[in-house]
Amino acid sequence: MHPIDWAIVVGYLTWVIYDGLKRSQDTDAIEGYFLARRSLPWWAVGLSVMATQMSAITLVGTTGQGYKDGMRFVQFYFGLPVAMIILSVTLVPFFYRAKVFTAYEYLERRFDQKTRALAGLLFLVSRGLAVGVIVSAPAVVLSIVLGWSLVFTALAIGVPTTLYTMFGGVQAVTWTDVKQMVVIIGGVLATVAFLILGLPTGVGLGEVLHVAGSTGRLTTIDFSLDLTETYTFWSGLLGGLFLMLGYFGCDQSQVQRYLTAQSVDAGRRALLMSAFSKIPLQALILLTGVLVFTFYLFNEPPMLFNAVHESQVRAGTRATEYAGLETQFHQAFEQRREAAHRMMAARRNGNVAGMTDTRATFTASQQRVADIRRSAVRLVQEVSGDTAYDDVNYVFPTFITTRLPIGLVGLLIAAVLAAAMSSIAAELNALSATTVIDFYRRHLKPGASDRHYLLVSKLSTAFWGIFAMVFALYAANLGSLIEVVNRVGSYFYGSLLGVFVLAIAARRATANGAFWGLLAGMVVVGLVEVTTDISFIWYNVVGTVSVVVVGMAISLLQPAPAG
């Protein structure tokens, strides 16, 4: 990168860390450290709720998803507004008035210690894995920008963030979230402006979107009832509803956000802020990915977006084969560019018959480009032995560092890093809260001083930071990062949601019913994953229903003893 870009990155991150630590107040007590003494304004909490979701994965994974598949990923969030309204009416006032530190603390009050411990353990596993994915996203960016190894970049991101979280407390995390949301939105809007202003002379935005639409990338709604498809209207509305209820209602990283609010109404406003802004913002980021696709219609992209893997293939025994694919790719790109121009010309001239013919020609040329790229990816998989390698995570980072002007590169890299640091900090703070409150204070050392618990909280944060960095090295090659983090969550959220449904809505549910129902939900999700091809988003429905059915059956067959 240019020295100006480095100055922007270093200056921004220095300011964020300094200002975040300066704003940390009341962190000498456990309630101040984890809940900011329930004193934060609703708008800051609302931005923090959004920022915890909108990590570097959003910029790296979602834009790559938009480039590859188009806008259909936005259907994933169709259940979000409904979920937020339900939670605003039910769990927000419930948890807030219960005066709990963690969501799982209530489960012992309602059921017993073992149900609380199992739910807390499932959260620790699911979020511990997810935060590893969050670390891997910016590590992917920096490994390309700087030519560093993935191991070094994961450490470079994870170590300072872990240290910052240990000392900053939830107040520093929240105010950092506020800043990173401003930078992310500003960076995305600046990128969109660059992509639109950078269109070839005489080519309009409507024309290139028409071309992108011919590939299906502008298809937003799919009413298919195919359960194997992840991104459909019904999977997003129903499966997504259960996922969002589980995530925002039962995941400590989100529950902790609205427990820091000044009041129940402030917590509600924070969730509703996210409910009605998330889909438009997600659509904007997906559209950025689509516009990157249109940019590469006229500017030849690399055949592989990961320069490290490309270098490995070039230096190996199959370099000749790769060079042959490059020649084919260049020819296919030229044919696609010419077909795109002819398609736009036919549309401009109102030539209906010509539009049909040119559309077919362009679609065929696009398919040819995609096929060659798939062949190149397979070649990388065979040479490296990494059968899970997917090029989609490298699309947007490569575009940022090779195509954006000086200054804007620094802004986007700062946005990615700030998003990563903020989200990692929020997750680590929640993991530490659950570890200390639900396990250490409950089982190992009850009745100790706040000073002692704060020390253990910081050590716990360090442990989870190390765990996340280790898993990040594996997560980077699992495929689309935005899918990976949602897939990991979907194994757990349905079952966690089910046990809270039993706790709050089923008066006859017993402790044994809740515990064995929660275990049964996890087992059933695992069996469904192994034996069927249904999309992971439906695991949330499967888990919830399984927990409720099994839990109520056991509760009715073995009611709690009287008295």
Cβ atoms < 10 Å from Cβ of 194: 15
Task: Say yes or no: 146 and 206 in one domain.
Answer: yes
- Give which of 312, 301, 485 is closest to 403, Cα–Cα: 301
Cβ atoms < 10 Å from Cβ of 253: 25
- At 129-141, the pLDDT tens digits run 888 888 887 787 6
Cα(364)–Cα(361) distance, rounded to whole angstroms?
5
Cα(25)–Cα(35) distance, rounded to whole angstroms?
11
Task: Say yes or no: 442 and 382 in one domain.
Answer: no
Instruction: Report if residue 479 sits inside a domain.
Output: no
Which of the 8 DSSP states describes residue 261?
A: B
- Give which of 485, 491, 487 is closest to 523, Cα–Cα: 491
Structure token digits, residue 164: 């910052």
Structure token digits, residue 169: 């407390």
State the chain's maximal CA–CA distance in angstroms.
83
Give the three-state DSSP class for 229: coil
Give the three-state DSSP class for 497: helix
Residue ranges of alpha helices (H) inside 491-538 are 493-505, 511-531
- Provide the pLDDT for residue 563: 44
- At 139-162, the pLDDT tens digits run 876 777 677 777 888 887 888 888
H/E element holding 311?
Answer: helix 307-314
Instruction: Report if residue 476 sits inside a domain.
Output: no
CATH number at residue 116: 1.20.1730.10
Measured CA to CA in angstroms, residue 160 lies from 212, 431, 522 at distances of 41, 17, 35
- Provide the pLDDT for residue 209: 92
Instruction: Report if residue 339 sits inside a domain.
Output: yes
Averaged pLDDT for residues 473-499: 74
pLDDT at residue 324 above 90? yes
- Give which of 275, 253, 237, 236 is closest to 88, Cα–Cα: 275
Task: Say yes or no: 459 and 502 in one domain.
Answer: no
Sign of the C-alpha dihedral computed for residues 230, 234, 238 and 240 taken in this order: positive
**For the residues of 420-459, what is the DSSP string, one character each?**
HHHHHHHHHHHHHHHIIIIIIIIII-TT--HHHHHHHHHH
pLDDT at residue 282 above 60? yes
Instruction: Report if residue 481 sits inside a domain.
Output: no
Q: Is 375 or 164 the better-scoring residue by pLDDT?
A: 375
pLDDT at residue 111 above 80? yes
Name residue, tokens 């480009």: 369
Rounded to an integer, what is the distance from CA 416 to the centroid of its chain?
13
As a residue count, the chain comes to: 563
Cα(546)–Cα(123) distance, rounded to whole angstroms?
18
- Give which of 292, 310, 303 is closest to 397, Cα–Cα: 292
Instruction: Report if residue 502 sits inside a domain.
Output: yes
Specify burial of residue 387 (Cβ count, 10 A radius: 0-12, 13-18, 19+).
exposed
Q: Which of 467, 502, 517 is the last residue of a domain?
A: 467
Task: Say yes or no: 263 and 382 in one domain.
Answer: no
**pLDDT classification of 391: cutoffs 50, 70, 90:** confident
Q: Which residues contact 558 (CB under 8 A, 6 or more apart)?
A: 510, 512, 513
**For the residues of 3-15, what is the DSSP string, one character each?**
HHHHHHHHHHHHH
Which residues, in sequence order, are bridge partners of residue 261?
Answer: 40
pLDDT at residue 537 above 60? yes
Average pLDDT for the chain: 86
One-letter amino acid of 197? L
The backbone torsions φ and ψ at residue 26, rounded to the nearest 5 degrees and listed phi first, read 55, 35
pLDDT at residue 478 above 70? no
Instruction: Report if residue 478 sits inside a domain.
Output: no
Which of the 8 DSSP states describes residue 73?
A: G
Counting the structural domains of the chain, the total is: 3
Task: Say yes or no: 195 and 239 in one domain.
Answer: yes
Cβ atoms < 10 Å from Cβ of 483: 23
58-62, 99-103, 194-198: which has the minimum mean pLDDT? 58-62
Residue pair 20/164 in contact (Cβ under 8 Å)? The answer is yes
- Provide the pLDDT for residue 202: 84
Structure token digits, residue 286: 């997906």
Structure token digits, residue 348: 């401009």
Instruction: Give, in degrees to the nearest 5, the angle at Cα 285 between 536 and 68.
Output: 60
Q: Is 560 or 268 the better-scoring residue by pLDDT?
A: 268
Task: Say yes or no: 162 and 210 in one domain.
Answer: yes
- Give which of 55, 11, 60 is closest to 177, Cα–Cα: 55
Cα(482)–Cα(480) distance, rounded to whole angstroms?
6
Cα(443)–Cα(117) distance, rounded to whole angstroms?
10
Task: Say yes or no: 83 and 43 in one domain.
Answer: yes
Q: Which of 388, 409, 441 is the last residue of a domain?
A: 388
Task: Say yes or no: 224 and 370 in one domain.
Answer: no
Q: Which of 388, 416, 451 is the last residue of a domain?
A: 388
Distance separating the N- and C-terminal Cα atoms of the chain: 70
Ranges 145-149, 231-235, 413-417, 481-485, most confident? 231-235
The whole domain housing 531 covers 491-563
Name residue, tokens 């004193």: 39
Q: Is 368 or 127 the better-scoring residue by pLDDT?
A: 368
Averaged pLDDT for residues 503-531: 92
- Give which of 40, 492, 416, 7 is closest to 252, Cα–Cα: 492
Reduced 3-state DSSP string for 378-407: HHHHHHHCCCCCCHHHHHHHHHHHHHCCCC
Task: Say yes or no: 403 and 383 in one domain.
Answer: no
Residue pair 183/415 in contact (Cβ under 8 Å)? The answer is yes
Task: Say yes or no: 497 and 529 in one domain.
Answer: yes
Cα(183)–Cα(199) distance, rounded to whole angstroms?
25
Task: Say yes or no: 142 and 219 in one domain.
Answer: yes
Q: Is 17 or 200 the better-scoring residue by pLDDT?
A: 200
304: left (phi over 0), alpha (psi -120 to 50) or beta: beta
Instruction: Report if residue 486 sits inside a domain.
Output: no
Cα(495)–Cα(235) distance, rounded to whole angstroms?
18
- Provide the pLDDT for residue 553: 95
Which of the 8 DSSP states describes residue 537?
A: G
- Give which of 376, 406, 219 is closest to 307, Cα–Cα: 376
Task: Say yes or no: 408 and 317 in one domain.
Answer: no
pLDDT at residue 26 above 60? no
- Give which of 324, 332, 248, 278 is closest to 74, Cα–Cα: 278
pLDDT at residue 531 above 80? yes
pLDDT at residue 52 above 60? yes
Instruction: Report if residue 304 sits inside a domain.
Output: no
**pLDDT classification of 476: cutoffs 50, 70, 90:** low
Q: Is 27 or 378 the better-scoring residue by pLDDT?
A: 378
Averaged pLDDT for residues 394-418: 86
